[in-house]
Chains A and B, each alone.
Chain A
Amino acid sequence: MAEMTANGYELAANRKPIRPGLILTWTVLLVGGLLMITPLLYMFSTSLKSAGQVYDLRLIPLAPSFDNYVKVLSDGRFMRWFLNSALVATTVTLSNVFFDSLVGYTLAKFEFRGRYFIFLAILSTLMIPTEMLVIPWYLMSSQLGWLDSYWGIMFPGMMTAFGTFLMKQFFETVPDDFLEAARIDGLNEFEIWWKVAMPLVMPAISALAIFTFLGNWTAFFWPLIVTTSKELYTLPVGLSSFAVEQSIQWELIMTGAALATIPTLLVFLVLQRFIVRGVMLAGLKG
């Protein structure tokens, strides 16, 4: 008994006092977290409600059912838009990973005249807002016959200044010894980039892939402008048409939105471990 009491005192003595700053931090984080998660919860909640219950704001539906999911998934248009979005986002992501890395690597690891100027030129395009670019993109698509086509949706994002900048900065952290060792082992410059440098910047590639995929999966403005036929709509454009066509069917829009989050979650789950894992320095003595 005495021992227990002693332990009790010890525990109480070891417990850190709760600082007011900490309470404030947690409160701010909690409020922020709730603000973030509430729309998501309502999205899932509404997707389980019938049309009549949509404006009933309780979080847990009275009679939850998956009818909306069945309705949306059996509607051919939804699947088409879903696949369009998947195709566009995947292609643009792969293209960015390939070209941004290639240009970033070249700018980071090769000495040539005009290298700095080229980098600045690429970087300066970051200062031009998308809204300003839409008209030239549209004119270009129109003149080249790319309007209302997959290529038309994808071409502006196939390579980005941000991605190039991100990859260049990461490739600069790859020690030259790795590349020189590969050069001596007989790899050509393309192989060195692909087989040695790229695996060493996996965290950056993953980050770039997640950003690009999310950006393109949720892209609305440009796909809306460039597409006219419904078969070419991407998911956000298609879902918005639910709201315009008939009276707004919130339960269907929310079901579509809930389904639309699945691929982004998957991409994040698959790639996040590469971001967390820092493999770079394991082969070098720091």
Chain B
Amino acid sequence: MATIELQGLVKAYNKTTAVHGIDLTINDGEFVVFVGPSGCGKSTTLRMIAGLEDITAGTLSIAGAVVNDMAPKQRNIAMVFQNYAIYPHMSVGKNIGFGLYTSKLSATEKGQRILETAKILGLEDLLDRRPSELSGGQRQRVAIGRAMVRDPVAFLFDEPLSNLDAQLRAQMRIEIKRLHQRLGTTIVYVTHDQIEAMTMADKIVVMRDGRILQVGTPTDLYENPVDVFTARFIGSPSMNLLTGEIAGGKLSVNQTVAAGLDATAFAEGPISVGVRPHDLLVGAPTHAGFEIAGTVTAVEPLGSETLVHLDIAGAEAIATAPGKLLPRVGSTVSATAQPGALYLFDAQTEQALGRL
């Protein structure tokens, strides 16, 4: 168990800089998820923590000791790879036991540890099988087992679920989360899937272009995104973004003035208005919040609710309707949002200005 500290961490390849001096503290026992689009530097950061990439500048400490120049094995961390990377020429038991390669335990103790780990992961009946005889989920569990068996100070996961189908991914998400609750070991997890980030993390780190944009709890990030990118990245479906204007202390979007909302706290002029699909409701009773009309372009009934795709003066937006309500495509409907559901962003810098 250990705290991991990143101070001004930089990774450069010749002339390209992949990670631009990031600072972050990962507390002992925390489940931290790095999230961001491809090429944002999240995997590179994880690989620097693992010791698989050299650190160009800055310091990386694990449990108080600077580990910049330490080999991966000296850092006592374990890693689970996207492609599992379990050895096809070894049985499940041997694969799990491989994590104990450098350990000085006796053969009996090693055997016990392997069995314990296999039991936790439900692999005890498969110990003699080869990886080729396992399903995708079982292979992923073997990879986790190999990481778990040696009791590392931290687990690093590099997009471990991206090769699994949707159903298995949901199941493994819960399993990894339970495992974290049971073991209490620090976990650093990289994904491009914001649902994984939201459902598993204690703390989410949003990255873009080699920089950290925001660090916070899932709720923090959902409720108070610092800019348009984070706001749209977190939450599914993505936040709608409309062009608006503040004039005379009132917000107007597409010539519709939100009369009930007081926008005097914001500077006059053009503004970007964000509203989450689940806050923009079709078929809800009107109230003193925000209301706008749009043409229905598509309808996605999900059973419990219906996603209504709208065209609001050329801008696309998604609203939510109750499950039984299926607006006709081509019809004009009115969508409303409660006070406080609108996120305002600077039209130029895209930085968050506050909620309305």
Docked-complex contact B88 and A283, CB < 8 angstroms: yes
B72 at the interface (CB under 8 A from A): yes
* B-binding segment of A115-123, A181-189, A210-218: A181-189
Q: Give CA–CA (A183, B81) in the complex, Å.
A: 13
Q: How many A-B residue pairs have CB under 8 A?
A: 79
Which chain B residues border A184 with CB–CB below 8 Å?
50-52, 72-73, 77-79
Interface residues of B in 93-147 (CB under 8 A from A): 98-99, 101-102, 130-132, 136, 139, 146
CB-CB under 8 A for A285 and B101, given A180-B52, A184-B73, A199-B89: no
A281 at the interface (CB under 8 A from B): yes
A284 at the interface (CB under 8 A from B): yes
CB-CB under 8 A for A283 and B73, given A181-B81, A183-B52, A185-B102: no
CB-CB under 8 A for A186 and B101, given A175-B85, A177-B85, A283-B88: yes
Docked-complex contact B139 and A185, CB < 8 angstroms: no
Which chain A residues border B79 with CB–CB below 8 Å?
180-181, 184
Q: Give CA–CA (A182, B82) in the complex, Å.
A: 15
A13 at the interface (CB under 8 A from B): no
Docked-complex contact B78 and A285, CB < 8 angstroms: no
* Nearest Cβ on chain B to A24's Cβ, whole angstroms: 40
Interface residues of B in 51-65 (CB under 8 A from A): 51-52
Docked-complex contact B88 and A280, CB < 8 angstroms: yes
Which chain B residues border A209 with CB–CB below 8 Å?
none
Docked-complex contact B52 and A285, CB < 8 angstroms: no
Docked-complex contact A196 and B87, CB < 8 angstroms: yes
Which chain A residues border B238 with CB–CB below 8 Å?
none
A60 at the interface (CB under 8 A from B): no
Q: Give CA–CA (A185, B95) in the complex, Å.
A: 11
B200 at the interface (CB under 8 A from A): no
Interface residues of B in 146-181 (CB under 8 A from A): 146, 163
Docked-complex contact A285 and B88, CB < 8 angstroms: no
Which chain B residues border A196 with CB–CB below 8 Å?
87
Docked-complex contact A283 and B52, CB < 8 angstroms: no
A200 at the interface (CB under 8 A from B): yes
How many positions in chain B have a CB within 8 Å of any CB in the partner chain?
29
Q: Give CA–CA (A73, B77) in the complex, Å.
A: 62
Which chain A residues border B163 with CB–CB below 8 Å?
285
A30 at the interface (CB under 8 A from B): no
Q: A191: nearest residue on chain B (CB-CB)? A: B101
Pick from A187, A199, A285: contact of B139, CB under 8 Å = A285
Docked-complex contact B88 and A200, CB < 8 angstroms: yes
CB-CB under 8 A for A185 and B73, given A177-B81, A282-B131, A284-B84: yes
* Nearest Cβ on chain B to A177's Cβ, whole angstroms: 4
A187, A280, A285 interface centre (most CB from chain B within 10 Å): A285
Docked-complex contact B146 and A178, CB < 8 angstroms: no
B224 at the interface (CB under 8 A from A): no
A279 at the interface (CB under 8 A from B): yes
Q: Give CA–CA (A285, B161) in the complex, Å.
A: 11
Which chain B residues border A199 with CB–CB below 8 Å?
87, 89
Q: A280: nearest residue on chain B (CB-CB)? A: B88
Docked-complex contact B98 and A185, CB < 8 angstroms: yes
Interface residues of B in 235-294 (CB under 8 A from A): none
Docked-complex contact B131 and A175, CB < 8 angstroms: no
Which chain B residues border A177 with CB–CB below 8 Å?
81-85
Interface string of B287-309 (1 = CB under 8 A from A): 00000000000000000000000
B198 at the interface (CB under 8 A from A): no
A180, A181, A183, A187 interface centre (most CB from chain B within 10 Å): A181
Q: Give CA–CA (A180, B131) in the complex, Å.
A: 18
Which chain A residues border B87 with CB–CB below 8 Å?
178, 196, 199-200, 283
Q: Give CA–CA (A200, B90) in the complex, Å.
A: 11
Q: Give CA–CA (A278, B354) in the complex, Å.
A: 58
Interface residues of A in 187-201 (CB under 8 A from B): 187, 196, 199-200
* Nearest Cβ on chain B to A175's Cβ, whole angstroms: 6
B86 at the interface (CB under 8 A from A): yes
Q: Give CA–CA (A181, B146) in the complex, Å.
A: 10
Q: A179: nearest residue on chain B (CB-CB)? A: B85
Q: Give CA–CA (A4, B136) in the complex, Å.
A: 49
Q: Give CA–CA (A285, B86) in the complex, Å.
A: 10
Docked-complex contact B131 and A183, CB < 8 angstroms: no
Pick from A182, A280, A284: contact of B83, CB under 8 Å = A284
Q: B164: nearest residue on chain A (CB-CB)? A: A285
* Nearest Cβ on chain A to B31's Cβ, whole angstroms: 20
Q: Give CA–CA (A183, B101) in the complex, Å.
A: 11
Which chain A residues border B85 with CB–CB below 8 Å?
175, 177-178, 180-181, 283-284
* Nearest Cβ on chain A to B69's Cβ, whole angstroms: 15
* Nearest Cβ on chain B to A236's Cβ, whole angstroms: 36
Q: Give CA–CA (A283, B143) in the complex, Å.
A: 10
Which chain A residues border B81 with CB–CB below 8 Å?
177, 180-181
Interface residues of A in 125-177 (CB under 8 A from B): 175, 177
Q: Give CA–CA (A187, B73) in the complex, Å.
A: 8
Pick from A175, A181, A202, A282: contact of B132, CB under 8 Å = A282
Which chain B residues border A202 with CB–CB below 8 Å?
89
Which chain B residues border A280 with CB–CB below 8 Å?
88
Which chain B residues border A181 with CB–CB below 8 Å?
79, 81, 85-86, 146
Further 15 A-B residue pairs, CB within 8 A, beyond A283-B131, A284-B85? A177-B83, A177-B85, A180-B79, A184-B73, A184-B77, A185-B98, A185-B146, A186-B73, A187-B102, A200-B87, A283-B87, A284-B88, A285-B83, A285-B136, A285-B139
Contacts A/B (CB < 8 Å), 18 sampled: A175-B85, A180-B50, A180-B85, A181-B81, A183-B71, A184-B50, A184-B51, A186-B72, A186-B101, A186-B102, A187-B101, A196-B87, A199-B87, A279-B89, A283-B85, A283-B132, A284-B83, A284-B88
Closest 8 CB pairs of A and B: A282-B132, A186-B102, A186-B73, A283-B88, A282-B88, A177-B85, A285-B163, A181-B85
